[in-house]
Amino acid sequence: MDLFIAIFTGTIIAATPLIFAALGELVVEKSGVLNLGIEGMMLIGAAFAFWAVIAGLPMPVAIIAGALGGAAASLLFGVLALTFLTNQYAAGLALAIFGSGVSAFLGRNFGSAPIDALDRMSIPFLSDIPVVGPMFFRFDPMVYFAIVMFFVISWFLYRTKGGLILRTIGESPETAHAIGYPVIRIRYLAVLFGGLMAGLAGAYLSVAYTPLWVENMTAGKGWISLALVVFATWRPLRVLLGAWLFGGMTILQLQGQALGIAVPSELLSALPYLATIVVLVIISQNRQMLALHFPASLAKPFRPAT
Amino acid sequence: MPPRLELRNITKSYPGIVANDDISMSIMPGEIHAVLGENGAGKSTLMKIIYGAAQADSGEIYCDGKPIAAHTPATSRALGIEMVYQHFALFESVTVVENIALAVSNTFDLDALARQITELSNRYGMPIDPHRRVHDLSVGERQRVEIVRCLLQAPKLLILDEPTSVLTPQAVVKLFETLRQLASEGCSIVYISHKLDEVQELCDTATVLRNGKVTGTARPKQSTSLELARMMVGAELPEMHVSPSVPSEKPVLEVRGLTAPARDKYGVELKNVSFEVRGGEIVGLAGVSGNGQAELISLLSGERTHGNALSIQIDGRAAAHLNASERRKLGMAFVPEERLGRGAVPPHALWQNAVLTAHRTGLVRNGLVDRKGANSFAAKIIERFKVKANGPQASAQSLSGGNLQKFIVGREIALQPKLFLVAQPTWGVDVGAAAFIRQTLVDLSRSGAAVLVISEELDELFEICDRLLVICQGQVSPPLIRTKTNREEIGLLMTKVDRGNGTNGRGEVAVQD
């Protein structure tokens, strides 16, 4: 039972950064912009948050610093891709590399000592319930915040006029412009939101998940978030399930390594990536659903006619 | 009373052309005002300027006597100016009511809005279901959505850009009733068109544009078509020469019982399509777009193949299983609807575009392109088909629509095809080039080739075709002889195939003529 609880809670925790990053990217892509630089924004967010902690700032401030770091990085992308209409693939890849470099630079003086991780909450009464308590009510606040963000984003996208505008801009910016919406401004907001969320994801990694500075500590989670969005066919619920699947596989392979299964550990480490991609490829086979949710103008530069 | 809308000395240039040159006009409340002109005369640019989607380089716009400053679509809509675009400004992936909610600026109450849409659309005699997704709607229904969206704003000025180009004759009648009702309620209407008969039927006044300049104003109901046409075109139009056709004994293209599933969710399933095209004749396929034309074209051209090889036969040989290249070897040539992207590679030079389909004529040797040969091949097309281009080195995208279409048609004709498929040959092509292309098609067929024209322009089909087919909901009607049918009959078939005799007895009726 303890093992089950450990795997369950481990899964939820491992999925949390992916939920932040992938939901942020989902919003960006729904607006028709493809930002490939999640990995870079996460690293910058991680470095900012870690730096804030060792500078002695309180934890909430550190996490906000991480989010702002991600947003600042995304602004860079926004200027390139939305104002100067650079190729979005190139701008995003550049951001990924740039973020990795900047975070390594910032991290030179971080040392190798661990910091005090973000405290876990223990929700009164609820956390004392046997089994259910440790499974659901003893996480750190960011875990709950990620779930809240899932509901907020789903509600926003499908239940509000703002969400409708965002989705339709992703389908046809020309049409949205023609009926009078400020396409570029809305896309900037989406990109900044994606940056905030990627920054949060990075901050979660460096101050909660592995409270220790390691260069390139995101280890490809930004890329996995990107893949999650695509294979989840741009739907929030599937992003959430995909993130949990990835988290689950990560924890299972760690347990597998601990049990000494006779498979090289490198192969086991690759398992979560492989399994997530395979499952998501299978569920994204329905072309009609894909056509309905795919932002048709994705990665196409748009400049309003003058 | 000040005019509802007044333009003073509007000028707008784009690199290389002056789209609008010193244009002035005024429209009174309740007036239906036509803006007449050929494709490329500057009508659409002018409408974009009125609506605020583009800004004039100089000149002023007054609405109800007040100048409009800092003009964007949003300011226009605040003033009560609404526009129905030629290519609709609708989002396909969301429902009708969501589309309309995006354009109306009050609260986001979809249920109340849906009731309002139902009520308003019924009042103007064009019912629509607010909860359907736009991509499931026909073109005519989409136009209704656009118009209802504008009407919800209680507009003072409604701009319609070529609204009838996608409608059946019956739908046009319906639309005109709605527009007259609106005008009688005091709404001004700007009606953009190049169709003289419609303008004469509907509009009180007309401003005629040519090459970006106003060439005249008229009262269409009191003017003759000839007067209006002269103002529009400037010169006399070349006359068409259509000699009687002498169809060949055997069909060059024979389609038998062709059934195929829709391309995707938005496509149309083809049901038991049968027809034939003989050498020496032009057969036209009429129909409102989105009734299976796309499926039929891709199956005929070989972009899509079919398991039953005998369902399409070219020159007596089974061809349905062959790909596009193999069908071209059998003597087929094809001009697709999309000039840029499918008919030609936009950034490539004309000589390179010529090689794309003409590589069989010795322009490629040992896998290497004969540049000199390709250049002179392209130069010959440019000369023979009077293409206005900067030589074979000009890029495809630098040509106007009409000139690129002349080049593409010329390229395909230079291959001396036995079977010539062409989709929307004069879409977005100016009147002069369109007449030239039509004459070219007639000449090609009279020299013995079988020509199949797929078009939404009924006028065009009536002008050049010997026999007409109508496609509706994936079914193709029996052929009608052009001289023995009329617009009403075709129009009815465009909306509903007579299922009683839709599948047999095709072909023979007309060939006996």
Among B204, B233, B262, the domain boundary falls at B233
Taking the CA of residue B402 and the nearest CA in chain A, the distance in Å comes to 23
Taking CB atoms and an 8 Å cutoff, what residues of chain A touch B98?
164
Q: Average the pLDDT over B249-260 and give the result.
A: 94
Record the tokens describing residue B249, joined without a space. 């004994």
Min Cα–Cα distance to chain A from B264, Å: 8
| Residues B155, B274 within the same domain | no
B508 pLDDT higher than 60 = no
Q: What is the ipTM of this complex?
A: 0.78
Residue B108 Cα, gap to closest chain A Cα (Å): 6
Is the domain of B175 the same as that of B215?
A: yes
* Predicted model pTM: 0.72
Q: In total, how many domains does chain B have?
A: 2
Mean per-residue pLDDT, B106-132:
86
Contact B91 A172 (CB under 8 A): yes
Residues in chain B within 8 Å Cβ distance of A306: 54-55
Residue B401 lies in a domain: no
Q: Name the pLDDT band for B500 (thresholds 50, 70, 90).
A: very low
Q: Is A234 left (phi over 0), alpha (psi -120 to 50) or beta?
A: left
Same domain, B446 and B323: yes
How would residue B289 be classed by pLDDT, with cut points 50, 70 and 90? confident
Residue A206 per-residue DSSP state: I
- Which of B173, B206, B233 is the last residue before a domain boundary? B233
* Chain B nearest CA to A283, separation (Å): 18
Round the average pLDDT of chain B to a whole number and report it.
86
- pLDDT for position B506: 35
Give strand ranges (E) for B85-197.
Answer: 157-161, 188-193
Contact B48 A160 (CB under 8 A): no
**Range in A72-86, A212-226, A261-275 with the lowest mean pLDDT:** A261-275
Judge whether B360 lies within some domain.
no
Band the pLDDT of B16: cuts 50, 70, 90.
low
Bigger pLDDT: B38 vs A237: A237
Chain B interface test: which of A31, A160, A179 (most B C-beta within 10 Å): A179
Across the range B399-428, mean pLDDT stands at 89
Final residue belonging to a domain, choices B206, B233, B260:
B233
Closest residue in B to A287 (Cα) is B264
Characterize the bridge pairing of strands B251-260 and B312-314: antiparallel
Instruction: Flag if B102 and A181 touch (Cβ within 8 Å).
Output: yes
Residues B185 and B74 in one domain: yes
Are residues B432 and B233 in contact, defined by beta-carbon separation less than 8 angstroms?
A: yes
Contact call for A164 and B102, based on CB within 8 A? yes
B449 assigned to some structural domain: yes
Closest by Cβ to A180, choosing from B74, B90, B265: B74
Contact A227, A276 (CB under 8 A): yes
Instruction: Return d(Cα A186, Cα A165) in angstroms, integer.
Output: 9
| pLDDT at residue B237 in the model | 63
* Shortest distance, CA B369 to any CA of chain A (angstroms): 32
pLDDT at B322 over 90: yes
Least trusted range by pLDDT, from B163-167, B440-444, B500-504: B500-504
Tell whether B109 is covered by a domain. Answer: yes
Max mean pLDDT range (B41-50, B104-113, B404-413): B404-413
3-state secondary structure of A144: helix
Q: Say whether B55 and A172 touch across the interface (CB within 8 A).
A: no
- Distance, in Å, from the CA atom of A176 to the CA atom of B103, rounded to the nearest integer, reads 9
For the ranges A31-40, B46-55, B236-245, the lowest mean pLDDT is seen at B236-245
All residues of chain B having their beta carbon less than 8 Å from the beta carbon of residue A167 are: 93-94
pLDDT of A289 over the 80 cut: no
Asked whether residue B370 is assigned to any structural domain, the reply reads no
- A168 and B91 within 8 Å at the Cβ level: the answer is yes
Q: State whether B219 and B271 are in the same domain.
A: no
- Contact flag B91-A175 (C-beta cutoff 8 Å): yes
Same domain, B220 and B259: no
Work out the pLDDT band at B496, boundaries 50, 70, 90. Answer: low
| Residues in B touching A293 (Cβ below 8 Å) | 93
User: Structure tokens of B70?
Assistant: 């800092």
Same domain, B28 and B166: yes
Residue type, B442: V
- Do B197 and B258 reside in the same domain of the chain? no
| pLDDT score of B499 | 43
Residue B510: pLDDT over 50: no
Per-residue confidence (pLDDT) for residue A64, from 0 to 100: 97
pLDDT at residue number B444: 94
Contact predicate B26/B60, CB 8 Å? no
Question: Percentage of residues in chain A with pLDDT exceeding 70?
Answer: 99
Q: What is the pLDDT of residues B224-242, one digit of tens each?
A: 877 887 788 776 666 778 8
Query: Looking at beta carbons, which residues of chain A come within 8 Å of B101?
Result: 161, 164
Q: Do B73 and A165 touch (CB under 8 A)?
A: no
Find the closest chain A residue to B12 by CA distance.
Answer: A306
Q: What percent of chain B clears pLDDT 70, i.e. is strictly above it? A: 93
Of B54, B85, B101, the CB nearest to A306: B54
Q: Which chain A residues contact residue B79 at CB under 8 A?
A: none
CA of A165 to nearest chain B CA: how many angstroms apart?
7
Mean pLDDT of chain A: 91
* Residue B461 located in a structural domain: yes
Test B93 with A178 for CB contact under 8 angstroms: no
Among A168, A167, A82, smallest CA distance to B89 is for A168
B263 and B213 in a common domain? no
Question: Which chain A residues are Cβ-neighbours of B266 within 8 angstroms?
Answer: 291
Residue B35 has pLDDT above 80, yes or no: yes
Domain boundaries, chain A: 2-293
In a domain? residue B355: no
- For residue B135, give the DSSP letter: G
- Look at A179 and B102 and tell me if their CB atoms are within 8 Å: yes
Nearest CA among A193, A247, A204 for reference residue A224: A247
pLDDT at B439: 92
Q: What is the CATH number of the domain that holds B269?
A: 3.40.50.300
* Residue B378 is assigned to a structural domain of this protein: no
Closest CA to B314 of B255, B248, B245, B246: B255
For helices A161-171 and A183-204, what crossing angle results, to 10°? 100
**C-alpha of B206 from chain center:** 23
Which chain A residues contact residue B134 at CB under 8 A? none
pLDDT at residue B497 greater than cutoff 60:
no
Of A155-169, A274-288, B395-409, give the range with the top mean pLDDT: A155-169
What pLDDT score does A306 carry? 61
Contacts of B90 in chain A (CB under 8 A): 175
The mean pLDDT of B92-115, rounded to a whole number, is 85
Cα separations in angstroms, A25 against A35, A233, B114, B449, B509: 7, 12, 32, 55, 61
Could you tell me the fold of the domain covering A2-293? ABC transporter involved in vitamin B12 uptake, BtuC (1.10.3470)
Check pLDDT > 60 for residue A124. Answer: yes
B228 and B256 in a single domain? The answer is no
Domain that holds residue B503: 251-331+417-510
**B221 and B124 inside one domain:** yes
Q: Parallel, antiparallel, or unpaired: how do β-strands B188-193 and B205-210 relate?
A: unpaired
- For residues B217 and B290, membership in a common domain is answered with no
- Give the CA distances from residue B496 to residues A83, B77, B175, B291, in Å, rounded to whole numbers and listed in that order: 50, 38, 19, 11
Q: Which residues of B touch A (CB under 8 A)?
A: 48, 53-55, 72-74, 77, 85, 89-94, 98, 101-103, 108, 264-266
pLDDT digits (tens, 9 = 90+) for B127-169: 888 999 888 787 778 888 888 888 888 899 999 988 876 677 7
Q: Does residue B368 sit in helix, strand or coil?
A: strand
- Say which range, A15-24, A252-261, B371-380, B453-462, has the weakest mean pLDDT: A252-261
pLDDT at A54 over 60: yes
**What is the Cα–Cα distance from A22 to A197, expressed in whole angstroms?**
8
What is the dihedral sign for C-alpha B386, B390, B394, B400?
negative
Cα of B281 vs its chain's centroid, Å = 23
Indicate if the pLDDT at residue B365 is higher than 80. Answer: yes
CB contact under 8 A, A305 and B85: no
HEC secondary structure over B190-243: EEEECCHHHHHHHCCEEEEEECCEEEEEECCCCCCHHHHHHHHHCCCCCCCCCC
User: Which residue of chain B is at minimal alpha-carbon distance from A293?
Assistant: B93
Q: Chain-centre distance of CA B116, in angstroms?
A: 32
Which residues on chain A place their C-beta less than 8 Å from a C-beta of chain B? 160-161, 164-165, 167-168, 171-172, 174-181, 287-288, 291-293, 296, 305-306
Would the pLDDT of A110 be above 90?
no
pLDDT tier at B323 (50, 70, 90 boundaries)?
A: very high
The pLDDT value given to residue B397:
85
Å between B120 CA and nearest CA of chain A: 20
Contact B102/A171, CB-based, under 8 Å?
no
Strands B282-286 and B188-193: unpaired
The alpha carbon of residue B356 and the mean position of all alpha carbons in its chain are separated, in whole angstroms, by: 25
